[in-house]
Amino acid sequence: MNALFEKLDRGLTGIRLYGIAPPKLATDPERLGEIAAQHVARLRQLAPDGLVVYDIQDEPGRSGQARPFPFLPTVDPERYAYDALAELEIPKIVYRCVGAQPREAFSRWLDTVRAAGGRRLSVLVGAPSAQSRGSGLPLAEAHALARAAPSLMVGGIAIAERHVTKLDEHQRMLAKQDRGCRFFITQSVYDAASTKSLLSDYALELQARGRAPAPVVLTFSPCGSARTLELMKWLGISFPRWLENELRHSADTLERSIHLCERVFADVQDYAREKNLPIGINVESVSIRKSEIEASVELYRRLTGQLASRP
Amino acid sequence: MNALFEKLDRGLTGIRLYGIAPPKLATDPERLGEIAAQHVARLRQLAPDGLVVYDIQDEPGRSGQARPFPFLPTVDPERYAYDALAELEIPKIVYRCVGAQPREAFSRWLDTVRAAGGRRLSVLVGAPSAQSRGSGLPLAEAHALARAAPSLMVGGIAIAERHVTKLDEHQRMLAKQDRGCRFFITQSVYDAASTKSLLSDYALELQARGRAPAPVVLTFSPCGSARTLELMKWLGISFPRWLENELRHSADTLERSIHLCERVFADVQDYAREKNLPIGINVESVSIRKSEIEASVELYRRLTGQLASRP
């Protein structure tokens, strides 16, 4: 049995994922082939339990601030995962922004999942706000429809930054579990305290309701420059002031960020162990700069080492 | 030479203080004598480098929320420190809320300091806001007047919680140093991240200006009940959500708080060491319950142990 499905089916700690965004839609076919070949090579080398493929949408409503990088549409993540990376044997967890499409598109996709045979994994993401959804599918309806495809294992996102202000993210997680979600993936963790706070309320709520936890996969990304830092902040990732200072004033921002990710993960890992919460890691590079991608590979190695040595 | 003055004169790390509030003004003389005898006995046993005596003022303007405990005026901290605890030989650091009194009262006090002979230590505290000061003395003017008493070594308060929103507490610290402050004392630290953020900006500002750091004494207090937690929150002490959960849901809140204080201190201590900032500790009990006072003694022992073993 595949390691990822076993860990998910049994709610185990120790899931190891690597995440990528699909190439830009405007990429010419030859270059697309090269990128896919690089992804295959990198992932064979890393051999994670699974590959995360993001669904990058333009979000003009987000944070009211100008996007630091221009938005460029990407190849459809589903097609990239299953066509361009077809030769990659590991399970793929494909993100799907359900709020960006009407119900019919989601239903058609479910048909293809059923037709594909074998188990599939997807993280369903709602619209950032009811306003931004427009005629898109509400997340709860997508969850209800997805139950008709038993071969599909659905995960959800868990956002510690949202918990800081609203204090209800743990209840959203439980509601998603009620609607069939079997695991969660966070956005990049640089703020150990807010992540521990979410895990704390989640653990208390599970205990109060007599429920079992779903694995929470913590995402980590290297940060090699002030520009990447700005992008990550724009994406909603929070940085404690001292940690942002460390990055901004370091002679080697990239190496410093890797070291800080290790420390943040150790802190959250210790806490999750105390609370008997199964966790995992997902490493990605939010930037496509070569140095930051290489750093994500190094970070993946270090965090999986930490995951194995302090289970 | 006394250890405290040596550490302050040389800007060394490792200052060890214990803090108390004076007894209530309404305490009858016999009971007052008993309390002073208990303080003397406890402090002789602990043998800190110095004793902090707080100046507790009613602050109706604070946070707009009802005070969880009624305000009762206390014996004047100066008189308590030097009269009631006269037999206690260690240096005393007496807090003085300068905003609560007119200029004449401050000048008269400076005359008594000069007349007393020997070195004295005081932490001067401004009014919580310009409005609440009324006809009281502005802090900067108090600093200017205090320079006429060279035997008085002045310290200031440093509030990490204020830094989170205003991001200028490090500049206030530097301004206080410019006006003669030689050390800082924080309020109770339960939020490692905000304390590290203040130290981070302080270290960067010192570096930018080519200045030497003043010792920053970190205050720690045990928390034995939900009621003490509410009082500490009302006092402006911030608790990360997960840590507040730990306290509220622990079978032994008091012991849990001691353990958490040790972890918070270890985190801040490691960071201060990296930044070459001299730090110290000050332990107090914000409550007068016997169990919490005993816990403060235990906490003092553990933190001074930690201070010595990981200098």
Q: What is the pLDDT of residues A59-101, one digit of tens each?
A: 755 556 777 778 899 999 999 999 999 999 999 999 999 998 8
Contacts of B37 by beta carbon, 8 Å cutoff, 6+ apart = none
A145 pLDDT band, cuts 50/70/90, is very high
Question: What pTM value is reported for the model?
Answer: 0.95
CB contact under 8 A, B193 and A193: yes
Check if A176 contacts B (Cβ < 8 Å). no
B62 pLDDT band, cuts 50/70/90, is low
Q: Mean pLDDT of all residues in chain A?
A: 95
- What pLDDT is recorded for position A132? 79
CB contact under 8 A, A199 and B242: yes
Within A126-235, strands assigned E span: 152-158, 183-188, 216-220
Nearest to A240 among B167, B193, B246 (CB): B193
Using CA coordinates, name the residue in chain B closest to A193.
B240
Check if B263 contacts A (Cβ < 8 Å). no
Check if A201 contacts B (Cβ < 8 Å). yes
- What pLDDT is recorded for position B65? 74
**Predicted confidence (pLDDT) at residue A311 exceeds the cutoff of 70:** no
Chains A, B: CB contacts within 8 A come to: 51
Question: Amino acid identity, residue B114?
Answer: R
Taking the C-alpha atoms of residue B58 and residue B51, their distance in angstroms, rounded to an integer, is: 22
Q: Percent of chain A scored above 90 by pLDDT?
A: 88
Nearest to A201 among B192, B194, B245 (CB): B245
Nearest to B242 among A197, A241, A245 (CB): A197
CB contact under 8 A, A242 and B200: yes
- What pLDDT is recorded for position A129? 80
- What pLDDT is recorded for position A58? 82
Question: Residues B52-72: what's their mean pLDDT?
Answer: 79
- What pLDDT is recorded for position B310? 74
CB contact under 8 A, B193 and A242: yes
**Predicted confidence (pLDDT) at residue A158 exceeds the cutoff of 70:** yes
- Answer with the residue of higher pLDDT: B100 or B64: B100
Taking the C-alpha atoms of residue B292 and residue B285, their distance in angstroms, rounded to an integer, is: 6
- What pLDDT is recorded for position A213? 98
**Predicted confidence (pLDDT) at residue A151 exceeds the cutoff of 60:** yes
**Predicted confidence (pLDDT) at residue B1 exceeds the cutoff of 60:** no
**Predicted confidence (pLDDT) at residue A126 exceeds the cutoff of 80:** yes
- What pLDDT is recorded for position B311? 65
B63 pLDDT band, cuts 50/70/90, is low
Six-digit token string for A112: 């293809």
Q: Percent of chain B scored above 90 by pLDDT?
A: 88
Task: Report CA dihedral (B96, B98, B103, B106) to the nearest 10 degrees.
Answer: 10
Question: Amino acid identity, residue B247?
Answer: L
Question: Tens of pLDDT along B132-189?
Answer: 778 889 999 999 999 999 999 999 999 999 999 999 999 999 999 999 999 999 999 9
Name the phi and psi angles at B282, rounded to 5.
-140, 125
Question: Residues B214-242: what's their mean pLDDT?
Answer: 96
Question: Residues A233-252: what's their mean pLDDT?
Answer: 97
- What pLDDT is recorded for position B141? 97
**CB < 8 Å from B in window 202-231 of A:** 204
Distance from CA of B200 to the nearest CA of A (A): 5
| Partners of residue A197 in chain B, C-beta under 8 Å | 240-242, 245
- Answer with the residue of higher pLDDT: B65 or B186: B186
Q: Please determine, for the modelled complex, whether the ipTM score is greater than 0.85.
A: yes
Q: Mean pLDDT of all residues in chain B?
A: 95
A1 pLDDT band, cuts 50/70/90, is low
**Predicted confidence (pLDDT) at residue B61 exceeds the cutoff of 60:** no
Using CA coordinates, name the residue in chain B closest to A165.
B241
